[in-house]
Chains A and B, each alone.
Chain A
């Protein structure tokens, strides 16, 4: 996007230098960004430096303790655990990011249309959101996964479709306050269309809310996909993700193989914490109401 079109979309005005400075002063948020970058390097560049076979099983090398040859030991079918952490992390990060973004996009469209339309359209659309929130995401996710046994793209879509509700509420609230602003009323008075009002004024002015919501959404999606995989209904072997690596965790715990539990668990916690910290930092920098 060129600078000119960026400014037309109100994006430049939304990201002034003081904002970045304010964000950079938040140590927790900067630490969050650092952790996320490091994990991306670890998962996507790491395999180039520490190459392991994550497709074939090696039954002569199962359940080895951490050693010089296998820094984090091996799992029950002989995969190198450190290599598996990178391999599974790719799926966790990609699914989390994509699903978080998808959920935010759906939620933003739904919320802005409901808030802008108002009246009974708004009432109906928001009752649908209420109903969606009443059905716990984890349960609906398990039902759909059980029925369809999805691959990675399928998981992204399902996760996105079940978790757009919170962003839609936030964007609707934002739209309600924006739609009666003078510039929107002026646009309508001179004959501008509704869709123009939404895409040119309401959405660009809601950017801060949307970005903050998206960050939290990614954190939630990474957690949620880990739950589904842990319960055995996520990505299927030989592919895996951090949650899937823990699905054999109970057997590992009983036999004291801590190296099969602690690394993927810590990876999930660190990344989810990092995204939440970034979200908190952005929320404070933008000075918008997010969650919690």
Chain B
């Protein structure tokens, strides 16, 4: 019952946050100089044309009315129409999002597969040279712009060593993307690097915290081997908060995808967003922002809920 109440409250909170996001997005749309009319009709449009357009589109009505209209359209899945690509924004995102998900999920999986053992190893060898070296490296990786890392990888692996192509797979469908796995290597590695830096730090901290818990001392006193304690108890308990962090990490993943897609010319949502920014295609820009924001809210919600369900200590308010 307690959990149900928590869930209801948490979901209501998330809905309020999404509502505020729509207000911000709507506000941005209407803060444009000249408004959407300028964007569609171009800078040469006469005042008369603009007035006519605004009247046709209902843009001369009071803002609250327009906002409600905008909300109603959103609820019908209508994100508007792209100025430059002449297609529904929802359709564009529908086409591009799966490809971005392929990229981000692969990067996240690779990142976690490296970060988790690395963080645990650091925790076990705390304050030894290896720990310092990895901590320093992740410190540097954390401060490295994703595109700089990508540029260096392109320079080294496509120009000097010539191991990988510099373009990501260009296919239209997810299947076509997977048909060219070699071309996926550099984009995925670039996306994974900052994840390794951040998540190995979390894993190190989380493992250290668990290693100092009473149950570890008890197990050790009971004669369990250190390796068994580490893998059977500490590993599982340390992993929960780290996995939950993934939920909070959604916006960073999308931000990384934006840069990686632009760098390797990978036709996902990030590249769609970037080209929309170059051509001031507002409906596409704001549609993408809205989708990513909702994904972030849902990610955060899931992270909170998962942590609460998996780790009873969170419920008790201990962590």
Nearest 7 interchain pairs by C-beta: A131-B20, A136-B251, A272-B143, A265-B148, A146-B277, A138-B255, A273-B143
| A136-B273 CB under 8 A given contacts A250-B151, A265-B152, A269-B143 | no
- Residues of chain A within 8 A (CB-CB) of B300 are 134
Assess whether A232 is in contact with B145, with CB atoms less than 8 Å apart.
no
| A147-B280 CB under 8 A given contacts A131-B20, A253-B154 | yes
- Of A46-54, A181-189, A254-262, the segment with at least 4 beta carbons within 8 Å of chain B is A254-262
- Residues of chain A within 8 A (CB-CB) of B254 are 136, 139
Q: Which of A143-158 contact B (CB under 8 A)?
A: 143-148
Assess whether A250 is in contact with B201, with CB atoms less than 8 Å apart.
no
| A135-B159 CB under 8 A given contacts A223-B145, A261-B152, A273-B140 | no
Chain A positions 261 through 282: 1 when the CB is less than 8 Å from some CB of chain B, otherwise 0 = 1100100110011001100000
What's the A-B contact tally at a CB cutoff of 8 Å?
151
Chain B positions 153 through 180: 1 when the CB is less than 8 Å from some CB of chain A, otherwise 0 = 0110011100000100000000000000
Please give the number of chain A residues whose Cβ is less than 8 angstroms from any Cβ of chain B in the complex. Answer: 47
| Residue A39 interfacial (CB < 8 Å) | no
- In the complex, what residue of chain A is closest to B147 when comparing beta carbons? A230
Assess whether B139 is in contact with A273, with CB atoms less than 8 Å apart.
yes
- Residues of chain B within 8 A (CB-CB) of A223 are 143, 145
A131-B20, A134-B18, A135-B296 known, 8 other contacts, Cβ within 8 Å: A130-B297, A134-B251, A136-B254, A137-B251, A142-B277, A250-B263, A265-B151, A276-B142
| Residue B84 interfacial (CB < 8 Å) | no
* Alpha-carbon distance A284/B262, docked complex (angstroms): 38
| Residue B288 interfacial (CB < 8 Å) | yes
A contact face: mostly helix, strand, loop, or mixed: helix
Q: Which residues of A are at the interface with B, using a C-beta cutoff of 8 A?
A: 127-128, 130-140, 142-148, 219, 223, 226-227, 230-233, 243, 246, 249-250, 252-254, 256, 258, 261-262, 265, 268-269, 272-273, 276-277, 292
24 contacts between A and B (CB under 8 A): A127-B16, A127-B20, A131-B24, A135-B293, A136-B255, A136-B289, A136-B296, A139-B254, A139-B288, A139-B292, A142-B274, A147-B28, A147-B31, A147-B280, A226-B145, A231-B274, A233-B277, A249-B148, A250-B263, A253-B159, A256-B155, A256-B160, A261-B151, A277-B139
Chain B positions 277 through 303: 1 when the CB is less than 8 Å from some CB of chain A, otherwise 0 = 110101001101100111011001000
Q: Which of B239-264 contact A (CB under 8 A)?
A: 251-252, 254-255, 258-259, 262-263
Q: Closest CB-CB distance, B220 to chain A, in whole Å?
A: 29
- In the complex, what residue of chain B is closest to A261 when comparing beta carbons? B151
